[in-house]
Structure 1
Amino acid sequence: MYRYNEFDKAFVASRAAQFRDQIGRWQRGTLSEEAFRPLRLQNGWYVQRHAPMLRVAVPYGELSSAQMRVLARIAREYDAPHEDVYRSALEAQRKLGTTHLPTHHAHFTTRTNVQFNWIALEKAADVMDLLATVDMHGIQTSGNCIRNISCDERAGVAPDEIADPRPFAEIMRQWTTLHPEFAYLPRKFKIAISGAAEDRAATDWHDVGLRLVRNEQGELGFRVAVGGGMGRTPLIGVVLREFLPWRQIMNYIEAVVRVYNQFGRRDNKYKARIKILVKTEGQRFIDEVEEEFRQIVECDGGPHTLPETELERVSAYFQVPAQAYAQRVADPAATAAREAQAARSPQFARWLERNVAPHREPTLRIVTLSFKRLLQAPGDASAEQLERVADLAERFSAGEARVTHTQNIVLPWVHVDDLLPLWHAAVAAQLASANVHLLTDMISCPGGDFCALANARSLPIAQRIMERYQDLDELDDIGEIDLHISGCINSCGHHHSGHIGILGVDKDGAEWYQITLGGADGSARSGEARPGKVIGPSFAAHEVCDAVVALLTRYLALRERSGARHETFIETVQRVGLDPFKAAADSVRASAEATA
C-alpha cells in the first residue's frame, strides 16, 4: 500500500485545520451559509434528508487495518444523530413502511468511498482530525472536480493482470488533488483504471476509463476511453486511443480535461458532464483533444511525461507485503482439513466456490467478505463489523483490505492454508455469505431513506428481494446475475449496468420503479458494457419483488443447457430478446390491477 510521506501528512493535517477554522467561523456567524456550502462540499460534507453526510475518499479502494479501525471508531462515536432528529426521521420513514434507520454504521459506495449518514456538523472538525491521523480525508469526494480514482479491487494480485494499475492511480491522485486548473470543472469528473484482461472496474462507464494493454511489440500503454457515464443519459465511453504509451498518460488526461473545461456546458447541470460534450461534438471533440495533446507535448515540452524513475518510486509501495508469506508452501495437513470440511459442509464448499478467487501467487487467494445478508442494507457495515474486518485483515491479509465497487470487502493476501480458519472467523463476524455474483449480492444506493436527491427508497426493495431469495440452492440454480438498484436518476446504484436494473421514480408524489434489462458493466460475466433497456411502464413498490420473481421464473423456463452448464440470465436475455421478459413483468402488473 502507498504510505503518506511528510508532505502528504502535512497537507492533510493543514486541510483539516483549515476546515476547523471554517466551521468555527460558520458557527459564529461570520461565514454565511452560502459561503460555507462550497467549503464543506470540498471536504466531503453534504446535508442530506435528515442529517449531514460525510464522504471519505478511499483511493483505488485500498484500506489498511489501522484505517479500518478509525472508520469503526467514527461509526461508533460520531455516527449518531441527535435524539430529536432521529425520532423525527424514523417517524417520517415509518409512514412509508421503513422500521429502522441504522446508526453507528459506515456505508461503502460504488466508487469505493465510505460514507457516514448521521455525523453532526459541529463534530465535523473532530472527525476530520481523526481521519488525518491515518492519512484519510474527504477532499474532492464532492464538487465539480476530479473525484476519487477507482481501480479493479484485484489490482496487483489478479492472475490475468497485464500490469498493476495502482502506481498509476496513485500518481494521478497526487496530480489531481487540488489541481488549480481543474478545481471548478463544468461538473464532477471520474476516472477508473484497470490493469487486467477482464475489466472489473467498469472503466467504460467513466468520464475517463483507462485499461493497461500491451501492443504487438510488448510495450505497455493505455487504451483510453472518454465520455462514459450513467445518470439521465447513460453512455458508454468512446475510445480515443487504442494504445497510448504509458509515459504520456498524464499529458493526455491533461488534454482531455482542458478541452472539457473549455467547451463543457456550464449553463445546464444536466448537460454539463463530459459525456454530453463527447456525444454532441463527436469527432470534433477528439480532434480538439489530439491538438491540445500535441501542443502540450511539442510546445510545452510534455511537462507531465512520466519518467521511469517516478513509476519505479511509486511502484515500490505496491510490492507483495512480507507478511503475505508469498513463498510459504502449502501444508498437507491444512489442505486435508480444508478438503474434509468442504466435503461435510455445503456452506464452506459454497464459500470456497463463490467467495475465493485465484491469486497470481500460487499459494495465495483473493477472498471476498460479503456484507449482503438479511436485515443489512447493501454496502452497510456496523462499527463492530468494521473492527472485525480490521482483525481479519491483520490476521489473514497482511493488514490490508479493499473496498469493491459492488459494495463488499476483499482480502487480497490470504494464504491457502488460512482459508478454513478465515471462514470460521468470517462466519462469527456475519461476513461469510456465500453469494458473490449471485442475486442477493446486489448493489444498492441508500435511496430515499437517507438521500435528499432520491425519488424513492432503494433499501426496502432490496430487503424484500433478499427475503424472497434466502434459499442458497435456489440462488445457485439461478446462477450469476447482477441486480442493481438506484433511488433516482443519478444512478448511484448503477442500475443502468445491471442485468436487472431497478430505478426509483416519482409519480404524483408516490414511489414507483422502472425495471431495465440487459445492462452490463464490462466484466467477463456480463460482456461488453452497455445500458439496460426499460421494459414497459413503472411498477408500484409492492409489485417490484413479484416482477423480479416473474422475470427469473421466465428465465428458468427459457434458458438452454450445454453439457453441465446452463445459460446465465444475461446470456438468455441476449439470445431471446426482451419481449418474453416484458410479457412476464406485464403479467404482474395485470394481476395487481385486477386485484385492486
Structure 2
Amino acid sequence: MYVYDEHDRKIAAERVAQFRDQTERALAGELSEEEFLPLRLQNGLYVQRLAPMLRICVPYGMLRSEQLRRLARVTRDYDKGYAHVTTRTNIQLNWPRLEDVPDILAELAEVEMHANQTSGNCIRNTTTDQFSGVQKDEIADPRPYCEIIRQWSTFHPEFAFLPRKFKIAVNASEHTDRAAIQVHDIGLQMVRNDQGELGFRVHVGGGLGRTPMVGPVIREFLPELDLLTYLEAVVRVYNRYGRRDNKFKARIKILVKALSPATFAEKVEAEWEQIKNSPTRLTLEEIARVKGYFTEPAYESLEDATDTLSQQRFENKEFDRWLTHNVGEHKKPGYAIVTLTLKKTGTPPGDMTDRQLEQIADLADEFSFGEARATHEQNMVLADVRQDRLFELWQSITGMGFATANLNTLTDMICCPGGDYCALANAKSIPVADAIQRQFDDLDYLYDLGPIDLNISGCMNACGHHHVGHIGILGVDKKGAEFYQVSLGGSSQHDANIGKILGPSFAREDMPAVVSKIIDVFVENRTEEETFLDTYRRVGLNPFKERVYA
C-alpha cells in the first residue's frame, strides 16, 4: 500500500500545526463559529448532538496494522473506547473533545493518517472495492488510480470551496460493484477498449440525499493518461455552474439534470479541450511510480487446500457456514479473502472497540501481511489469508465478534449512527438495526432468503444509503415523533436503481414486523432461482404494499 514520502509527511505536519492554531483561537474566542466552521470541516470535525465527531480518512479503505493500533490508542485515550466504520471506508470517533482534536491529528500523522477533506465542500476520500488487487475478475488494480486522485485532489486550491461536497469512486470488477460508483458525483468504471487499452467509463451526477439519482454516463471511454485532466474539467464545470444559493440544490447531480447529461458532457468536453495536454496529464512513468507502491506481497507457491478444508467443514458446521459466506476466492492459488463481519447482534453495525482494533491489527500481522481493509458495507477484510490457515483464523476470531457468518444477508446491514449521535438525524437508526437483527437470528433462514441489502439512514442525508438498499429504511420526523419510511427495489450494483417508497411511515416498534411481512411476500412469490431483487422486479411494489398495510 502507499507509503508517505517527504512531501506527504511535511503536508500532514503543517496541517496539524495550522489546525492547532485555529482551534486554540476558536476556543479563545478569537474566531467566531462561522469563521471556524469551514476550517474544522476540512479537518474532519463536525459538531454532533452530544459531542464533536471526528472523521478520519482511510484512503480506499487500506490500513496497516500499526495504523489500527494507533486508532485503538486514540479511541481509548481521547474517546470512549470504540470507533465506527463509515460507508466511505473512513473511521469516525463520536466523542472527542474539541481541545483534544489537534493532539489526535498529531498522533495520527505519526502513522501516516489524517482527517483532511473528510468533510466540507471539497473532494472527499476516494473509495473503491475492498477486494481490489486480489479478486480474479478485475480489469486492473484500481488502487493506484485512487491514490493518484487522492494526491491530485488533496488541497487543490481551485477546488477547496466547491458548491457542495464531492465524492469520487472507482470500480474495476466486470461483474459486481462494491464501490457503488453510480451514486457518486463521479463514478469511474475501469474498462478496456477494442484495442485492449485501459481506460474508464465515466458516470457523473449520481448521489443520494434529498434528491437521489443514478449517475448517467457522459463518456464511454477515457484513456488512463487523461484521467486527471478530465476529472479537472468535470469539477471546473461544476465549480462554474453549480448553484451556491441553495445548499439543497448545490450538488452536481442537480446541475447535470438541469442541463441534461448531453449538454453537461458538451461543456466538459469543451473545457477538457483547453487543458487535456496540460502538465496535469498523466504519464506512463508517473502511473508506474504509483503502481510501485501496490506490488504483491510475498505470496508463497501453495497448493489448493480444498481437501483439508473439506474435512474441516465436514467436522464443524459453524466453520462450514463461515467458510461459505465470509470467505471469498483469491486470484492466487492457495489464498483466500476473508471478511471480518462487524454485524454481531447487539453491536451497532460497523462499530469496533479499541480492543477489537488491536485484535484486527494482530490478525493482520499473523494472517495477512500486516494489512486490513475497511469496506463500504461497514466490515473489515483480511485480503491475503492462506487457505491452510483458515480454520486457525476462524478459531481465533470466533470469540472476538468477527465470525458472524451473515455476510450479504439481511442482517449484514448498512446503518448510519443516526439520532443517537448525529445532530441532523430525524430518528435513531441503531435501535432499529438491533431489533431487526434480533427478529432474524436464524442463520439457516437467512441463507434460504439469499442476498438482501437492508440499509438504514436516520435522515434524508442518506449516510446509510437507504435509497439503494433492496430494503431501505429512512428515519423521518412526524410531529416531533420518530417514524420510519420504507422503500423497496434499490440497488447499488451495475444495475443501479433508486428504491420506491412503500407508503406511509411506521413507528419504531413496528419495524421488525414490517420487515417480516416484506420477507413473507418475497418467500411466497419467489421462484427457486430468484433473489429478493429479482422477485421484486417481477411482481412490483403492490403485493408488498398490500400485505404491509393490510
TM-score exceeds 0.5: yes
Aligned AA (2:538): R
Kindly provide the amino acid, as one letter, of the partner of residue 61 in structure 1: G
Whole-angstrom CA distance in 2 between matches of 1:348 and 1:402: 22
1:116 is the counterpart of 2:96: no
- 2:103 corresponds to 1:126: yes
TM-score, scaled relative to structure 1 = 0.91
Residues 1:306 and 2:282 aligned together? yes
CA contact (8 A) 2:163 2:242 kept: yes
Give the equivalent residue in structure 2 for 1:157: 134
Q: Specify the alignment match of 1:91 in structure 2.
A: none
Q: Does 1:180 align with 2:152?
A: no
Give the one of 190, 193, 203 matched to 1:225: 203
Give 1:433's aligned amino acid.
T
1:102-157, CA deviations, whole angstroms, 9 ceiling, x for partnerless residues? xx110000010100000111111110111001111111001000000001111111
Distance (whole Å) between structure 2 residues aligned to residue 35 and residue 551 of structure 1:
48
Aligned residue pair count: 548
Deviation string 1:280-332 (CA, Å, 9 cap, x unpaired) is 101221111110011112xxx3322111010001001101112xxx2331386
**Partners of 2:51 and 2:94 within 8 A in 1:** yes
Determine the structure 1 residue equivalent to 2:183: 205
**Alpha-carbon distance between aligned partners in 2 of 1:331 and 1:268, rounded to the nearest angstrom:** 58
Query: How far apart are residue 21 of structure 1 and its match?
Result: 1.4
Tell me the residue number matched to 1:471.
442
Deviations 1:211-260 (A, max 9, x none): 11001111111000000000111101110111111100111000000000
Q: Are 2:255 and 1:284 equivalent residues in the alignment?
A: no
Does the 8 Å contact 2:304/2:334 carry over to 1?
A: no
1:25 paired with 2:1, answer no
Cα distance in structure 2, aligned partners of 1:369 and 1:330:
24
Gap regions ≥5 residues in structure 1: 81-103, 588-596
Secondary structure in structure 1 of the residue aligned to 2:486? strand
* 1:336 Cα offset (Å): 5.0
Corresponding residue of 1:366: 337
Q: For the residues of structure 1 that align with 2:267 and 2:399, how far apart are their CA atoms?
A: 56
- Name the CA distance, whole Å, in 1 between partners of 2:402 and 2:257: 43
1:579/1:263 CA distance change after superposition, 3 Å: same
Alignment match, 2:292? 316
Cα distance per residue 1:453-482 (max 9 Å; x no partner): 000110000000001111111111111100
- Any residues of structure 2 matched to 1:7-406 within 5 Å, and which? 7-80=7-80, 104-197=81-174, 198-282=176-260, 283-297=262-276, 301-322=277-298, 326-330=299-303, 336-406=307-377
Paired residue for 1:510?
Answer: 481
What does the per-residue CA deviation read over 1:336-356, in whole Å, with 9 as the maximum and x for residues that have no partner? 553222112211111111111
Note the residue ranges of structure 2 that are not aligned, 5 or more in a row.
none
Cα gap change, 1:167/1:331 in structure 2, threshold over 3 Å: closer, same or farther? closer
Q: Given the alignment of the two structures, is residue 461 of structure 1 paired with residue 439 of structure 2, yes or no?
A: no
Q: Secondary structure at the match of 2:214?
A: coil
User: Is the 1:330–1:416 contact (alpha carbons within 8 Å) kept by the matching residues of 2?
Assistant: no
The 2-side partners of 1:503 and 1:34 are apart by 30
Structure 2 match to 1:567: 530
Report if the CA contact (8 A) 1:330-1:417 is conserved: no
Q: CA deviation at 1:569?
A: 0.7
Is 1:499–1:517's contact at 8 Å kept on the other side of the alignment?
yes
Deviations 1:138-191 (A, max 9, x none): 110010000000011111111001011111110110010010000000000000
Two-structure CA RMSD over aligned residues (Å): 1.1
1:18-51 Cα offsets, whole Å, 9 max, x none, are 1111122222222333222221111001110000
Q: Is the 2:304–2:333 contact (alpha carbons within 8 Å) kept by the matching residues of 1?
A: no
Structure-2 separation of matches of 1:541 and 1:318 = 46
Structure 2 residue matching 1:428: 3-state secondary structure = coil
1:34-72 CA-to-partner distances (Å, cap 9, x unmatched) read 222221111001110000000001111101111111111
**Letter in structure 1 aligned against 2:358:** E
Aligned to 1:548: 515
Matches within 5 A, 1:429-448: 429-448=400-419
Return the alpha-carbon distance in structure 1 between the equivalents of residues 469 and 156 of structure 2: 34
Offset, 1:77: 1.2
Identity, % of aligned pairs? 55
Q: Distance in 1 between matches of 2:84 and 2:79?
A: 11
Q: Equivalent residue for 1:593?
A: none
